[in-house]
Amino acid sequence: MMYLLIEIAIILWFILFVVFFKEKRKMLIYSLLFSTIFELLGLLSKGYTYNQNFSFSIFNLPIFVILSWSIILVTSYTLVSKITTHRLTKAFICALSVISVDLIFEAPSVALGLWKWNTYSSTLFANINPYNFIGWLFVSFLFIYFYEKKPIYSLIIALPVYVLTQLINLGLLMIPIIHNLNPYFILLIIYLGFVISSIVLYVRHKIKERKKLNLKEVIEIWVFRLPFFLFGIIACIMNNLSYSFVILIMFIGLFQEMIIYILIIDNSKIKEEKTKIKNRKN
């Protein structure tokens, strides 16, 4: 019953999302196709499996996964487009925006049995493969980067990107020094690389003269992302996932999300309003 409710909820949510984001239909289509191709390739590797109780699936790939992918990618892209128009900068920040959701969503989903990782190890926390987060970073980065260049490229790269992530995974395991390290330490290094790159590029390529903030659009984006965060937090509480690691990665996800929203707020407008209020008082 729980699985059916999740599926119905995400289908209705996606329909509503399409209605509100008519101008993003092209990206919706490309993100749906890309996520379908990439997830099907991921299932072939048998690194993870989805619960068989889902009613709506394509070759054992639940529809809710594809729709969720699309909503997360499109909202992240829309948010980051308010920060910069520079392609490389947008791709880096967008990757962090995408992983913000996964950091909140992953552990509770595994705990609820929505999917499971087949590569268990004593170094894995909450049965989550750290290469999942590394994969999300690289995959979302490459999808956005090539979509910005030419939308069709984002589909052409689906297979090469999948092969690349597998080679990175295999390559890291074959290097003795890295193989002996905690996989989450490797994740930390790669994650920090994305953070530092995003900061450096943002400073150089942020939109210097931003248009007036479209508050309605920002609220719409936030509303469609909110269910993923609420689901993760509520499921975390329900499953008593209170150990420090899970709390830490969820906090990082929420913190990143907050930073993204801070960046799109037009500080000049805030200062202008404060000045007006101050002048009225005087």
- The residue ranges of every structural domain in the chain are 73-266
Residue 19 has pLDDT above 60, yes or no: yes
Question: Among all chains, which residue has been given the structure tokens 């990782």?
Answer: 117
The mean pLDDT of 55-68, rounded to a whole number, is: 90
Predicted local confidence at residue 65, as pLDDT: 92
d(CA 96, CA 101): 9
Mean per-residue pLDDT of the chain: 82
Confidence band for 110, pLDDT divided at 50, 70 and 90: confident
Predicted local confidence at residue 10, as pLDDT: 92
Number of H helices, E strands in the chain: 12, 4
Predicted local confidence at residue 131, as pLDDT: 77
DSSP 8-class letter at 211: P
Tell me the pLDDT tens digit for each residue of 243-260: 777 788 888 899 998 888
Question: Among all chains, which residue has been given the structure tokens 């609420």?
Answer: 230
Closest CA to 158 of 30, 50, 7: 30
Residue 282 has pLDDT above 80, yes or no: no
Q: Record the pTM.
A: 0.85
d(CA 99, CA 69): 11
The mean pLDDT of 63-74, rounded to a whole number, is: 93
Predicted local confidence at residue 280, as pLDDT: 58
- What is the Cβ-side half-sphere exposure of residue 81, based on CA atoms within 13 angstroms? 15
